[in-house]
Amino acid sequence: MAKKTTVCILTILMVLSSVGYIFADTSSSVDAKNNGGITIQYESISRVRAELTFNGATANPVIRVTPIKGVTVDRVVVDAKLMRVGSSTPVKTWNETVYDNVIGEFVWTDSHRVISRGTYYLSATIKPYRGSTLLETITVESGTAVY
């Protein structure tokens, strides 16, 4: 009987101790914009995707920038770097101004033939503009790609 009671008490304690309480801090040092219950990280950009693929020795970087609906973005300046993992020196750098396409997305793409095998990634700074006004600066990195 004592054994059953001990087992029951230990089981209850284990169940109760596995329950955790988490309290989220509601104040933030970054002013996030609230749009219908969804917190938006940026003021003018809804989504930024950086991708890097290889076709043989040719690196094919792509950056897609989608503005928030209702926000006017005239152009996006892309400062991109093709980086080799483990090195702080860029393999290739680009600085391009990109204008929106038919569906309102800003897409930058290029290619570069790499010399040596390794693991690479794309690092970029995105600067959306309305007229001559810089709206914000966004930094993004792609996942890694192996050549």
What does the domain layout of the chain look like in residue ranges?
42-146
Q: What distance in Å separates the CA atoms of residue 95 and residue 75, rounded to the nearest whole number?
A: 13
Q: What distance in Å separates the CA atoms of residue 70 and residue 134, rounded to the nearest whole number?
A: 17
Helix (H) or strand (E) holding 96: strand 92-98
Specify the range with the lowest mean pLDDT, choosing from 22-26, 96-100, 131-135: 22-26
41 pLDDT tier (thresholds 50, 70, 90): confident
* pLDDT score recorded for residue 40: 53
For 44-102, the pLDDT digits (tens) are 899 999 999 999 999 999 999 999 988 999 999 999 999 999 999 999 999 999 998 88
CATH number of 42-146: 2.60.40.10
30 against 122, higher pLDDT? 122
Radius of gyration of the chain (CA): 24
Q: What distance in Å separates the CA atoms of residue 71 and residue 45, rounded to the nearest whole number?
A: 8
* CB count in 10 Å sphere of residue 82: 23
Mean pLDDT of 4-21: 62
